[in-house]
């Protein structure tokens, strides 16, 4: 059994990005810049955005965060998006989700210029990704593909079971892994809250990706001997002994599942750091206008 070290791979990729950026700066070019919009004070969202700012620093990027109160209107948010769309020094930006209930997530996402949509959430990027055109790919699925690639995990012809059908992880990942690509060429099954016999289906998987947001959902009885298990879960559970007062729990019962696996990602330190680094890669792509040209 090998533990997939997402933190280490992410550090390697950030160093690669930093070297490229310093080279660009040495040639007299400006630094890439990522912006983030955050609404309200949700603890997990604050942490994610702080981690993105930190990663920008490590990659040699500029970053800015636009903060709004929970009571902000959709109009105010759309005005900020229009401003970032027009700013020639902002290469890409994200709107941290979830948004307060009185704001339409879909209208907000569709207001982002697809050329600056480094989260890959705009329907134009989702559609382009689905038909195999150049696009910004959602960061978590891109990070998972990178881990499979860097660890040399075979995917062609393998059965991959994706638990969860979210627009951010499950659905795009299922699309990507079924495409003619490396990693890819998988036979993919998507399971969700209405799926019957989830355990039986998971036991037939070469690769299981758990992305349902249910702590310790995947148990050893649901996994075949030698499977690869990718854990996308990051639920905060109270932990009075931890400095922050909480601990991150994955969707996999790690201690009992790990001994059966050929490869497994831990939480934390598996998929999470790769998600952030994929956002950095998308920002560099936006800076270089690699997806859409000028």
Catalytic site positions: 52, 96, 119
Position among 168, 218, 248, 291 found at the interface with ligand GUN (CB under 6 A): 168
Neighbouring C-alpha atoms within 13 Å toward the C-beta of 38: 18
Whole-number minimum distance, CB 46 to ligand GUN, in Å? 12
Please name every residue paired with 65 in a beta bridge, in sequence order, or none if there are none.
Answer: 36
Q: Which residue has the tokens 């630094």?
A: 31
Q: How far apart are CA 158 and CA 140, in angstroms?
A: 20
Q: Please report the sign of the dihedral spanned by the C-alpha atoms of residue 155, residue 157, residue 161, residue 166.
A: positive
- By beta-carbon proximity to ligand GUN, the closer residue of 59 and 168 is 168
Task: Candidates 26-34, 62-70, 90-98, 198-206: pick the segment binding ligand GUN (CB under 6 A).
Answer: 90-98
Length of the chain: 294
Number of residues that bind ligand GUN (CB under 6 A): 7
- By beta-carbon proximity to ligand GUN, the closer residue of 222 and 232 is 232
Task: Candidates 25-33, 91-99, 150-158, 210-218: pick the segment binding ligand GUN (CB under 6 A).
Answer: 91-99
Q: Let me know if 212 is exposed, middle or buried by CB neighbors in 10 A (0-12, 13-18, 19+).
A: buried
DSSP line for 150-208: HTT---TT-EEEEE---TTTHHHHHHHHHSSSSS---EEEEE-TT-S-HHHHHHT-SEE
- By beta-carbon proximity to ligand GUN, the closer residue of 222 and 277 is 277
- By beta-carbon proximity to ligand GUN, the closer residue of 3 and 66 is 66
Whole-number minimum distance, CB 121 to ligand GUN, in Å? 7
The answer to whether 72 contacts ligand GUN (rule: CB under 6 A) is: no
The answer to whether 65 contacts ligand GUN (rule: CB under 6 A) is: no
Cα dist. 196→192, 200, 254 in Å? 9, 9, 23
Position among 66, 97, 198, 224 found at the interface with ligand GUN (CB under 6 A): 97
Binders of ligand GUN among 113-132, rule CB under 6 A? 119
Whole-number minimum distance, CB 92 to ligand GUN, in Å? 11
Residue nearest to ligand GUN (CB): 97
Whole-number minimum distance, CB 168 to ligand GUN, in Å? 6
First-to-final CA distance of the chain: 46
Q: Which residue has the tokens 């490590």?
A: 58
Closest C-alpha to 30, from 276, 287, 245: 287
How many Cβ atoms sit within 10 Å of the Cβ of residue 42? 15
Position among 33, 63, 96, 155 found at the interface with ligand GUN (CB under 6 A): 96
- By beta-carbon proximity to ligand GUN, the closer residue of 158 and 285 is 285
The answer to whether 251 contacts ligand GUN (rule: CB under 6 A) is: no
* Interface residue list for ligand GUN (CB under 6 A): 94-97, 119, 139, 168
């Amino acid at each position: 059994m090998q533990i997939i070290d997402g933190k280490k791979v992410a550090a390697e990729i950030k160093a690669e990005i930093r070297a490229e950026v310093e080279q660009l700066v040495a040639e007299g070019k400006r630094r890439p810049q990522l912006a983030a919009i955050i609404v309200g004070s949700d603890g997990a969202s604050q942490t994610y955005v702080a981690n993105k700012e930190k990663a920008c620093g490590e990659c040699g990027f500029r970053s800015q965060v636009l903060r709004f109160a929970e009571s902000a209107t959709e109009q105010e948010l759309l005005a900020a998006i229009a401003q970032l769309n027009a700013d020639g020094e902002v290469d890409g930006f994200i709107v941290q989700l979830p948004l307060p209930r009185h704001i339409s997530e879909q209208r907000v996402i569709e207001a982002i210029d697809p050329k600056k949509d480094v989260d890959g959430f705009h329907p134009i990027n989702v559609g382009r990704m689905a038909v195999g055109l150049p696009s910004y790919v959602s960061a978590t699925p891109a990070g998972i593909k990178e881990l499979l690639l860097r660890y040399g995990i075979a995917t062609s012809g393998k059965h991959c079971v994706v638990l969860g059908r979210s627009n951010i992880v499950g659905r795009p990942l299922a699309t990507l892994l079924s495409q003619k690509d490396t990693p890819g060429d998988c036979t993919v099954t998507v399971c969700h809250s209405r799926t019957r016999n989830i355990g039986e289906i998971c036991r037939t998987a070469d690769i299981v990706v758990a992305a349902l947001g249910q702590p310790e959902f995947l148990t050893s009885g649901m996994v075949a001997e030698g499977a690869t298990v990718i854990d996308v879960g990051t639920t905060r559970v109270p932990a009075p002994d931890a400095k922050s007062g909480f601990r991150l729990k994955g969707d996999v019962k790690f201690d009992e599942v790990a001994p059966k696996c050929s490869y497994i990602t831990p939480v934390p330190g598996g998929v999470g750091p790769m998600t952030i680094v994929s956002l950095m890669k998308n920002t560099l792509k936006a800076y270089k206008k690699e997806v859409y040209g000028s």
